[in-house]
Every structure is written in C-alpha cells, then in structure tokens.
Structure 1
Amino acid sequence: MCRWLAYSGSPIRLEELLYRPRFSLIDQSLHSRMGVETTNGDGYGVGWYPVDGSPEPALIRGVGPAWNDANLREIARSISSPLFLAHIRASTGTPVQQTNCHPFRYANWLWVHNGSIREFARLKRDLVMAVDPKLYSSMAGSTDSEVMFYLALTYGLRDRPVAAVERMAGLVESTAREHGVPDPLQMTVATTDGDRTWCFRYSSERRSRTLFYSTAISALRTLYPDQKMLHGLSEETRLIVSEPLGELEGAWQPVPESSYGVIQKGDDELGSFEPSMP
C-alpha cells in the first residue's frame, strides 16, 4: 500500500513534515510502522498550493524511492506552502511510472489514496467506462487510485465532495458484486480544492487502513509549552496522516472507521461515510 499526509495552515517549508520529524514521511518510505509494507519505494509525489494564492497547485512526482531523491530534498527545503499533499507509493500491481504516482491533479484539485480495488484488472473496464467522456482524456496512468479520482469528479466532486466519493465507492462495490469480487474497496483518501481538504477512511470489510488527524494547536500548546514550532502556527493549522509523525502524547487522534472529515476555515467537520449508488 502507501503512506500520505495532508497539511493545511500557516505556510511552512515542505521539509518540516517530509524530513524533520522523527517518523517523517521520508522515514516512513523506509520504515513504516503501521503500513501493510514496511518499505514504500515505488515513487513519490508532492502537490502544493503557492503562498501567493494561485489556484492551481504545483506538482512534483518521481518513480524512484523518496529517501534517495536529491531533487525532492532540494524542493522541500526551498518551497513553503499553506496547503500541500504528499505521498509515497507501494505499488499494488500497476507499473512504477510517473503517471501512476500520486497526487493526481485535475485543474485546482489534488487527490491521494492509500489502499486498493481488489481484482482491479477484472473491474477496470466497467469502472473506466463510467468516467465522464469529457474527463476521460485527462487520465494518464493505469492505477485504481486515478480511476477513483476521475469517478469522483464524474459524480460531482467539485460541487458535493462527500456525496461524490460515496457514489464512487458505491459504484466500485456494485461493480464488484456483478463480477463476484468480495470486499473490493480499501481506501484512505485526501482530496482538496486549494481551500478545503476532505479525508475519507473506508473499506468494504470495515477494517480500514490507519488514518490520524492532529489535535487542535491550542490544546497542543497547553500540553507542550516548550515546543517552539507550535507557537508559530495558526489556530487553523491541521494535519492528516497515514501514521503519526512523532510520539507526543495526545497529539494524534484516529479518524473513525467509515467516516469523512473536512478541514476548513472555522469549525472542521467529522461525519459518517456510507457508499451510495450513483
């Protein structure tokens, strides 16, 4: 499977999360503690929104292991962003190539995924044929993750993100039933339009991969007054991760099974996720 993180808040350099924490995303590319695989070396990607407020995110993706990529290190120490998604890949069978690395981008949207569609090769034709023809030509890779993204776009991701992802999941499960594939969907997903960020934790068997969100900054400042970094972050700052980046007690909360969350200005949201037929 894979590991990913989604950050939203005060602008910070990418390296602050990709490299510096004890259990950083780069460390997880070699030594994941909670993933299906310990090593996630089949490519990487980072998508970030510029500090100047430009709506379209920038993107870097590579097919080599993240821990050994000099270009990623250079960019991470040079780029600051208020919102970015980062991903390290462990292939579930599709080729190791740049177009299969996350994040996937469409206009101002980004998408990362950890998980798989079981027996994707059997289901792929039916799923791809459900993608809006106007979106089809934008698909460049061969992964189940990218198909999930374009199905969500087809079902209204840009207008009603939660409903769109629920419809995508419902189509995957109904298609799998037609082909006799049990428990087809395993996913933790993050997607963003550059303003709000949505995360999803769901699996057909109700045993989803791990996902955590950071405790409110105000509470962390009270718990750890000597942590200088916390005092430079706004109250809106939030982080979602496949597995915690450190061991500060109380810093990480598990995203509940079969649920979604929304990071946004003001109060964040947490709700139940239930696939539905499109």
Structure 2
Amino acid sequence: MCRWLAYWGTPVLLEDILYKPSHSLIDQSLHSKLGVETTNGDGFGVGWYSPESNVPALLRDVGPAWSNRNLRELADHVRSPLFFAHIRASTGSAIQQSNCHPFRHGRWMFMHNGAIAGYPLMRRDLTMLVDPALYADMEGTTDSEVMFYLALTYGLDRDPPAAVAAMAGAVERIAGEHGVEFPLQMTIALTDGTRVWAFRYSTAQASRSLFYSAQPDALRRLHPDNAFLKEISDDTRLVVSEPLGDLPEAWVEVPENTYGVVQPGEDEIHRFAPTMA
C-alpha cells in the first residue's frame, strides 16, 4: 500500500515536513512501521498551492522518494500553507508517472492509501460510472484514480463527504455483483485548496492507520523547546498515515469509519458510511 501526509496551516518549507521529522515520509519510504509494506519505493508525488493560482502544482516521479535529487532540491525552496505528499507501494498497477499520487483535477487534489480488492474484475463496470465529460481526463490505470473520478462524478464540488460516500457505495455495490466480500480499503485525503477532508474506512472495518496532529498550543506547553511548534499557528494541522516522530501526545488516531475536516475556524469530525448513489 502507501503512506501519505497532508499539511494545512502556517506556510512552511516543504523540507520542514517532508525531511526534518525523525520519522519523516522520506524515512517511511524505507522504514514504514505501520504500513502493509516496510518499503514504499514505487514512486512519489508532492502537490501544493501558491498565492498565484488556485490550481495546485504537482511533482511526481516513478522512482523512490529517498533518492530523488530534484525533490530534495525543491524542498529547500518551496513554501506553502497546504501540502500533499505521497509515497507509493503498488498493489499491482503499473509503476508509471500517471499512477503516482496526488491526482489533480482543476482546484482539487486527491490521494489514497488502500485498495479495491478484486479491482481487475470490477474495473470496466466502475469506469463506466464515471461522467463521460470527465472520462477523457483520466490518465492512469489505478483504482485510486477511478475512486477520485467517481467522487468528482458524484458531486465533489458540491458536497465532498457525500461524493466520497457515494463513491464508496458504488464500489461496494459493484463488488457485490462480482462476489467480492470486502472490497474497499481506504484512507483518503482531498482538498480544494481551502479545506482538507480526510477519510478512514474499510468494508471489513479494519482500516489502515491514520492520525492527526494535536493542537499546537497544548503541545507547546508540553514541549516548550520544540522549534517547529514555535513557528506554526494554533490552527495548523497534519494528517498522516503514521506519526512523523515520537513526540509524546503529538498524534491522535482517527477513529474507524469517520472523516475529518481541517479548515479555517473549528475542525470537524463526523461518522462516515457509504451511500448508494
């Protein structure tokens, strides 16, 4: 499977979140502790927003993140209030740039850890549900990209949680028609450049790990010498597949069958369940 992180808050350099933590995403690309695979070297991707555009920039490549010189060079120079970063362990689809996360459509970014079990059996049926106006924009061969385009089809622009719930319902319905018992495994992050939504769900009720960072004001009282905590605002958040370090009380597990919203003002967390579109 994969590992990912989403950052929202005070503008920071990419290296601050991608390289500097003791168990950074770069470290996880070689030494994941909570993933299905220890090594996640089948490509990587980074996406971010700038003040000049509401369309995110992407850097994606098929090689491992730990040895990519362009990524290391970029990380020292790119600053943003919103980053997505993903390291890939393929579940069977080809190792090619168009299969690397995050995926982008207009102002939206999407990334996923997990899989659709039995996807080769269901691929045709699922892709036929994608809005024909969107179909030509699909570039890769992954189940993750199809999940993204199904969410777009079901109204991501209008109501992101409802669109993801309809996507999950469609996957489970098609899986039932093909006799696949536990088809969906997903932790998902998506953003429109203003808010970040994060979902944790699986049909078998045994979802992959997902955590969010505790409030910085509380952590500063516990760790007054931490330089990173001194620089970020109280509403800054990280959502991660696994903790980026072992700072006590810094990470909170996302409950099973829930989604959270990181946004200006109060964060939200809600129950999640698939719906039939």
Unaligned runs of 5+ in 2: none
Query: Which residue pairs with 1:151 in the alignment?
Result: 150
**Does residue 1:240 correspond to 2:239, yes or no?**
yes
Other structure's SS at 1:57 match: strand
Alignment correspondent of 2:125: 126
Tell me the number of residue pairs that the alignment of Structure 1 and Structure 2 aligns: 277
Q: CA deviation at 1:232?
A: 1.1
Amino acid at match of 1:68: S
- SS of residue paired to 2:29: helix
Q: Please say which of residues 221-230 and 99-108 is displaced more in the overlay.
A: 221-230
Measure, in 1, the Cα distance between the counterparts of 2:6 and 2:132.
30
Amino acid at match of 1:70: R
The residue identity in structure 1 corresponding to 2:2 is: C
Q: Which runs of 4+ in 1 moved over 6 A?
A: none
Offset from partner CA, 1:207-227 (integer Å, 9 cap, x none): 000000000111111111111
Shift of 1:53: 5.1
1:211 aligns with 2:235: no
Q: Distance in 1 between matches of 2:227 and 2:99?
A: 38
Q: Which amino acid aligns with 2:276?
A: M
Q: Does 1:35 find its partner at 2:31?
A: no
Q: Please report how far the alpha carbon of residue 143 of structure 1 lies from its aligned counterpart in structure 2 after TM superposition.
A: 0.1
Q: Which residue of 1 aligns with 2:274?
A: 275
Cα deviations by residue, 1:25-71 (Å, 9 ceiling, x for unpaired) = 00000000000000000000000001x25201100000000001000
Using the size of structure 2 for normalisation, the TM-score is 0.99
In the other structure, the counterpart of 1:197 is 196
Deviations 1:155-211 (A, max 9, x none): 011110000000000000010000001100000000000000000000000000000
1:111 matches 2:110: yes
Deviation string 1:238-258 (CA, Å, 9 cap, x unpaired) is 000000001011000000000
Residue of structure 2 in register with 1:8 after alignment: 8
Q: CA deviation at 1:228?
A: 2.0
Gaps of 5+ in 1: none
**1:221 corresponds to:** 220
AA aligned to 2:230 is: H
Percentage identity across paired residues of the two chains: 62
CA–CA separation in structure 1 for the residues paired with 2:60 and 2:12? 20
Task: Report the counterpart of residue 160 of structure 1 in structure 2.
Answer: 159
Rounded to whole Å, the distance in 1 between the matches of 2:106 and 2:235 is: 25
Aligned to 2:137: 138
Q: 3-state DSSP class of the match of 2:54?
A: coil
**TM-score when scaled to structure 1?**
0.99
**Residues in 2 aligned to 1:33 and 1:185: alpha-carbon distance in whole angstroms:** 22
Q: Secondary structure at the match of 1:86?
A: strand
CA displacement, residues 127-175 of structure 1 (integer Å, 9 cap, x when unaligned): 0000000100100000000000000000011110000000000000010
Q: Give the equivalent residue in structure 2 for 1:72.
A: 71
What is the DSSP-based 3-state SS (H/G/I as helix, E as strand, rest coil) of the residue aligned with 1:180?
A: coil
